Amino acid sequence: MKQGEMIRFVCILLLWLCLCWLVLTKAKIDFMTIFAIVASGIIVFVPLYKKYVVRRRNDR
Q: What number of helices (H) and strands (E) belong to the chain?
A: 3, 0
What is the model's pLDDT at position 22? 95
- The domain in which residue 31 lies consists of 3-59
pLDDT surpasses 80 at 60? no
Residue 13, class by beta-carbon neighbours within 10 Å (0-12 exposed, 13-18 middle, 19+ buried)? middle
Residues 4-59 pLDDT 10s = 888 998 999 999 999 999 999 999 999 999 999 999 999 999 998 888 777 767 77
What is the model's pLDDT at position 1? 67
The structure's pTM equals 0.79
What is the model's pLDDT at position 38? 96
Report the Cα 50 to chain-centroid distance in Å: 12
Total domains present in the chain? 1
Distance CA 60, CA 44 (A): 25
Q: 44 and 16 in contact (C-beta within 8 Å)?
A: yes
